[in-house]
Amino acid sequence: MNGEQDRATTEWLEPLQRFFIYLESERKYSKHTLSAYQRDLNAFTEYCAENASTDWKLIDETLIRRYVATQHRKGLSGRSLQRQLSSIRTLFNYLCRHYGLENNPADGIPAPKSPKRLPETLGVDQLNNLLAISADDPLAIRDHAMLELLYGCGLRLSELTGLNMADVDWQQRTLSVFGKGRKQRRVPFGSKANEALKKWLKERAQLINVGETALFLNKSGQRIGNRSVQQRLKKWVLKQDLGSNAYPHMLRHSFASHILESSSDLRAVQELLGHANLSTTQIYTHLDFQHLAGVYDKAHPRSRK
């Protein structure tokens, strides 16, 4: 009996494992995105198994709705549930194409709505203070260059740590960046970032291991990791007495908000950030309106209480 159960479990989970391989090898999803899919779908398949639904063809809309309701009662936000439903829909699309399922039972199932949270940003003065790094040791020089790119180019953390020397076009002052889904875009960088990068290159030559292609290295001469960048930023926030918490993605939010405040060109901001949909970028228009409302409140005589 145990042998039959083991065989049934293998048959049930094999398409899921093949789906993860597909996301990694064909869709070129990052480790972070793949890990999120695995967490979401492992939780979903555990729920299905507990409810005696270990046949993909028998999983229907009712079961998925019950799963969403259960997760919501556990305290998951609407945003998290939207992500989980997206993972489930993507899985069933794969099963329809490769395993003969006739329809996607997750299509059309809405997630509970949750209030939109505006991105956290830093002010221009705060960023100028953060980027006023004058130390001359190699790691401080590297950190300065990394922060200049995070804010100056609006990079995601994984995009920064994934940069190679070959991705920098010094003549055009642009970076070749690989974003979500390994989509490539070119992003310009300014004179401040250019100066900081050139200063870092002199130090990089002293640290590098043979054959290492990464632009930014740790003290062992290997590609720096995401966690190290987060820790170094935290250190500089304290050292520069920023008066506020900061994390790498906050610099990306600040980049987008400041560009939009100055140019009002939403499409350009979308291209610079590498957003697939304009709706993703539109969240920054709410920040821009908050800025304008603040200016109005301070400046217009009829706005004062």
Structure tokens at 9: 């479990």
Cα–Cα nearest to 79, from 283, 237, 263, 264: 283
275 is catalytic: yes
Q: Is 249 a catalytic residue?
A: yes
Between the alpha carbon of residue 159 and those of residues 181, 187, 200, the distances in Å are 12, 11, 18
Report angle CA 216, 193, 150 to the nearest 5 degrees: 60
Q: In sequence order, which ranges of 162-265 are alpha helices (DSSP H)?
A: 191-207, 226-239, 248-263
Phi, psi for residue 171 in degrees, rounded to 5: -70, -45
Whether 199 and 141 have beta carbons less than 8 Å apart is answered as yes
Closest CA to 112 of 76, 62, 87: 76
The one catalytic residue in 83, 89, 180, 185 is 180
In the DSSP assignment, the letter for residue 58 is G
DSSP 126-183: HHHHHT-----SHHHHHHHHHHHHHHHH---HHHHHT-BGGGEETTTTEEEEE-GGG-
Q: How far apart are the first and last CA of the chain?
A: 78
Distances in whole angstroms, Cα of residue 263 to Cα of each of 190, 267, 284, 288: 16, 10, 12, 11
- Please identify which of the residues 27, 72, 275, 291 carries the catalytic annotation: 275
Rounded CA separation 189/272 (Å): 11
| Nearest one of 154, 170, 152, 274 to 215, comparing CA atoms | 170
Residues annotated as catalytic (active site), given as ranges: 156, 180, 249, 252, 275, 284
